[in-house]
Structure 1
Amino acid sequence: MQDVIIIGGGAAGLNAALVLGRSRRSVTVIDAGQPRNAPAHAAHGFLTRDGVAPLELTRLGRADLAPYDAHVEEGTVVSAEQIDGGFQVTLDSGAVYTSKRLLITTGLVDELPDIPGLAQHWGKNLAHCPYCHGWEIKDQAIGVIGSSDFAVHQTLLFRQWSPTITLFLNTAPQPSPTERAQLDARGIKLIEGPVAKIHSDGDAVSSVELADGSIHPVQALTTQPRFVARAGYLDGLGLVSTTTPFGVSLESDGTGLTSVPGVWAAGNVTDLSATVLAAAQGGAAAAVAINMDLMAEELAADVAAHDVAMSSAASTLM
């Protein structure tokens, strides 16, 4: 039985494994090799690693684990359940792993608007976070595909990176008078009506077609996906989920502890807005909390054993 099983080998999971390994804990990271940011050319905003390819960041993170009792197993978890003394995790291969504690770092799934031609540009010419990829599309003609109540907010935010912004209202609600004034003041064009299709020129976005047949040239796109935690395989644990206007995440406290004792969560699976760097920090914080929890359990067991030994010695002397 390992001290900790970590499900998910992205920034949160690998950083947690690193901290736990350096704490002399035995750790198994189970990873399906499908990071959320895999479609992106690069990850940004990560000190000393700005511009690194997501899969290269994963490779570097795995390499950091080499000196410690922490290793990565390739596979997809199909179920997780509580057993005496800890947890049991089963993979799609049939392999079974057990541990005293469990850390969930499987991230989330981005549910994009169902518009033909849109998904193929995800992580490339289609972004949702300006802090992650706004620099790469700066000064381009950016089209915002409205999909939620936050369409105007998102539009005004991307205006920081380009003076040429068009909000395609699509399924978003009508802007309020105040919002319309804000859009006008920032020189943002508003086009009403549902979006029917996204056109491409090779790998690049070229235009947005509305249901009325009108076509509007753009060079890049942004939209607000619905974020859904990758946690369906955890139904057997009885974890509590939280639903917000942005999506669904696992409920946890400031250390990452979930509603189930012994189970922690870190990264996008519990914090929908976490960047790669924030996810890594969340993994580290959860690792520290898990180590402290294991230490408390071990200390209590040692104190109890010591008391028994002392009592037995006293009885012998009597």
Structure 2
Amino acid sequence: MTYDVIVIGGGPAGLSGAVALGRALRAVLVIDSGAPRNAPAEGIHNYLTRDGMRPAEFLAAGREEVRRYGGTVLDGEVTAARGGLEGGFTVELADGSAHQAKRLLVTTGLKDQLPDIPGLAEQWGQTLLHCPYCHGYEVRGRSIGVIAVNERAPEQARLWGQWSPDVQIIPGGDIAAVEPKGVRLKDGTFVARDALVIAARVAARAEFLVTLGLEVAEHPSGAGTHVPAVDPTGRSAVPGVWVAGNVADPMAQVISSAAAGLQAGAMINVDLIED
């Protein structure tokens, strides 16, 4: 079948957009790779009535809502997207299957580009954090170490100082390993910290968009790359393709990503009506 919309990415933005489209009686397919960026976190925050909810529980509830309104959720990795408004879009998956749609909503999120420091990836989302609005309250008043890997470290130190008076910058080049309660320096010294912070660059999950002629760009914040929207509704530079959530806005949190997905879904429905 040809779907009205294929949503690529089943995070907050994608699921929210799919629910909006399902409630508009559209045939929707959500394709998700099952690798959410916030999977290691103990819970989501700043989402009214859902504070502290585990990411996996949140996504499971979102998938159920999509299905409640007639949508289909498929586990799979998108490798390419082709076509356009004239003959529709084809989305190709790693398993060799392909699916067709009249419109696309891309909500694939980001990849964190973590430095190659032993133990760092294992602590990511646990004692190693990145967003004070997401995790600052949970480590308030405790000792925090900012791992400096780029010019954003002083900015991060000032920001995290809102939550703790004990913030220390630790040069990333001096670190031999990240451990659960601090860092081991190359000279053998152990720097104890209750929590660690890193402002690593992020990259949009958008490799498959090259076949559509849609390219990533540097985000104005300097945080990394994104797929720019050409208007506030999430419309991309390629007609018929919308972007929402972290793939378009690296600074968006869960609740704002969900809101962006809702808006994009509503605008896609309007676009289909006008067509």
**C-alpha distance in structure 1 between counterparts of 2:265 and 2:67, whole Å:** 18
Cα deviation digits, residues 108-140 of structure 1 (max 9, x gap): 001112211111111111110010011121222
Give the 3-state SS of the residue equivalent to 1:66 in structure 2.
helix
Whether 1:117 and 2:126 are equivalent positions in the alignment is: no
**C-alpha distance in structure 2 between counterparts of 1:152 and 1:140, whole Å:** 18
Pairwise mapping of residues 236-315 of structure 1 onto structure 2 (< 5 A)? 236-244=211-219, 245-253=222-230, 254-297=232-275
TM-score, normalised by the number of residues in structure 1: 0.82
Instruction: Compute the displacement of 1:170 (Å).
Output: 3.2
Q: Give the partner amino acid of 1:251.
A: P
User: Quick check: 2:147–2:171 contact (8 Å CA) kept in 1?
Assistant: yes
Instruction: Compute the displacement of 1:209 (Å).
Output: 2.4
**C-alpha distance in structure 1 between counterparts of 2:126 and 2:178, whole Å:** 14
User: Quick check: 1:77–1:92 contact (8 Å CA) kept in 2?
Assistant: yes
Pairwise mapping of residues 169-208 of structure 1 onto structure 2 (< 5 A)? 169-170=171-172, 194-199=174-179, 205-208=180-183
Pairwise mapping of residues 43-54 of structure 1 onto structure 2 (< 5 A)? 43-54=44-55
Number of the residue aligned with 1:210: 185
- Greater mean deviation of Cα atoms: 109-118 or 221-230: 109-118
**C-alpha distance in structure 2 between counterparts of 1:170 and 1:123, whole Å:** 18
**C-alpha distance in structure 1 between counterparts of 2:228 and 2:66, whole Å:** 28
Greater relative contact order (Cα < 8 A, sep 6+): 2
Pairwise mapping of residues 74-223 of structure 1 onto structure 2 (< 5 A)? 74-82=75-83, 84-170=86-172, 194-199=174-179, 205-223=180-198
Instruction: Compute the displacement of 1:90 (Å).
Output: 1.1
User: Quick check: 1:227–1:272 contact (8 Å CA) kept in 2?
Assistant: yes
Instruction: Compute the displacement of 1:240 (Å).
Output: 2.7
1:229 to 198, 204, 219: 204
**C-alpha distance in structure 2 between counterparts of 1:12 and 1:159, whole Å:** 31
Cα deviation digits, residues 59-103 of structure 1 (max 9, x gap): 111111233231101111111101552100011122211000001
Of all paired residues, the percent bearing the same amino acid is: 46
After TM superposition, which residue ranges in structure 1, 4 or more long, deviate above 4 angstroms? none
**C-alpha distance in structure 1 between counterparts of 2:182 and 2:271, whole Å:** 54
Unaligned stretches of 5+ residues in structure 2: none
**C-alpha distance in structure 2 between counterparts of 1:216 and 1:96, whole Å:** 51
User: Quick check: 2:129–2:197 contact (8 Å CA) kept in 1?
Assistant: yes
Instruction: Compute the displacement of 1:214 (Å).
Output: 2.7
**C-alpha distance in structure 2 between counterparts of 1:42 and 1:88, whole Å:** 35
Unaligned stretches of 5+ residues in structure 1: 172-193, 200-204, 298-318
Instruction: Compute the displacement of 1:44 (Å).
Output: 0.8
User: Quick check: 1:112–1:224 contact (8 Å CA) kept in 2?
Assistant: no
TM-score, normalised by the number of residues in structure 2: 0.95
User: Quick check: 2:206–2:216 contact (8 Å CA) kept in 1?
Assistant: no
User: Quick check: 2:6–2:31 contact (8 Å CA) kept in 1?
Assistant: yes
**C-alpha distance in structure 1 between counterparts of 2:215 and 2:271, whole Å:** 21
Q: CA RMSD in A?
A: 1.3
- Counting matched residue pairs gives 270
User: Quick check: 1:243–1:249 contact (8 Å CA) kept in 2?
Assistant: yes
User: Quick check: 2:182–2:196 contact (8 Å CA) kept in 1?
Assistant: no
Please say which structure displays the higher CA radius of gyration. Answer: 1
